[in-house]
Amino acid sequence: MRLAEKAHCLVWILHRRDGLGLTGKACDDGALCRLSGALPVAAAQLIDRPAEIKFPLVLAARKSHNSGRMKHHPDDLIMLFNDLFRRSHQTVLVKGGDEPEYIPAAGPDQPARIVFAHGFYASALHEISHWCIAGARRRGLHDYGYWYCPDGRTAAQQQAFESVEVRPQALEWLFSVAAGSRFHISVDNLSGQGAADEAGFRARVRAMADHYLRDGLPARAARFHQTLLTFYGRQTLFAQAWQDQGLTTSESTR
């Protein structure tokens, strides 16, 4: 049997199997995983081959991603996240209703749940970002032990809100670019006094994202970011896409 035929059969067999997990060495929670720059085309092609084995559901999607407008479905994020972290961190990503929520594990057979709102793709990325930052103690608490101050905040409350949202929104932005999806800065205070400093907040989020790229993402965030790059075939596109996002940021803060 020729190599191409063997590869085709292998992929078909993998499609027939349920629950195939992703491979890869896990990092310690306290470690930082440095991201490499854009890979040469030849190297990216080599990575794409095992990617077909890692992600058996990606084959049809990859063709559409490369030949037309990319589609983003939250079920893809659920598959990728759960394959990465269900066993290693006893945590799953699930669709929810009106409000996002983090529910810690209740036992060996009851994993922690990251619940994202309305089945929205962007909401899933945002909630994953919060989880990637939370330490072990926080992950043992409902909603990481934080009390959410709802929409309608005063200027002082909004300033406090923005200060704790810089890191998760920086990760969300990096995840969005890795997936090729649109990212929107969220000040989340429509019925209150609005953003304390919207331009400044956006600049701080951008600066934090640049810091992560330069010095390393948190370990779990780095694993998920690389998974998105591989799944959506954007290893060679990320560097330029991120630079283009910087130009947009500069224009929006003038």
108, two tokens: 């060996």
DSSP assignments along 186-206, one per residue: ----TTTT--SSHHHHHHHHH
The counts of H helices and E strands in the chain are: 10, 5
E strand residue ranges, the chain: 32-33, 91-95, 101-103, 112-116, 217-218
Rounded Cα distance, 96 and 105, in Å: 17
Residue found by looking up tokens 């704790």 in the block: 164
pLDDT for residue 217: 98
Please list, in sequence order, all residues whose beta carbon lies within 8 angstroms of the beta carbon of residue 38, skipping any fewer than 6 positions away: 235, 236, 237, 238, 239, 240
d(CA 152, CA 246): 30
Q: What is the arrangement of strands in the sheet containing 112-116, beginning at the earlier edge strand?
A: 91-95, 112-116, 101-103
Instruction: Name the region of 36 (left: φ>0; alpha: ψ -120 to 50; beta: rest).
Output: beta
Q: What's the pLDDT at 151? A: 62
DSSP string, 9-62: HHHHHHHH-SSPPPP-PPPPTT-EEPPP-PPPHHHHHHHHHHHHHH-TTHHHHH
The whole-model pTM stands at: 0.70
- The tokens for 190 are 């429509």
Q: Domain spans of the chain? A: 55-252
Tokens standing for residue 238:
């990320």
Point out which residues pair with 95 in neighbouring strands: 116
Largest Cα separation within the chain, whole Å, is: 69
Give the pLDDT of the chain (254 residues) as one tens digit per residue. 444 433 333 333 233 333 333 333 334 343 444 444 443 333 333 333 344 344 444 433 443 344 356 789 999 999 999 999 999 999 999 999 888 999 999 988 899 999 999 999 999 999 999 999 999 999 999 999 986 666 666 777 777 777 889 999 999 999 999 999 999 988 763 444 555 577 888 999 999 999 999 999 999 999 999 999 999 999 999 999 999 987 655 434 33
CA angle at 38 for the pair 35 and 41, rounded to the nearest 5°: 140
pLDDT, residue 196, reads 56
pLDDT of residue 54: 44
In the numeric block, the tokens 């084995």 are attached to 53
Strand-pair category, 112-116 with 101-103: antiparallel
Residue where the block lists tokens 């063997």: 6
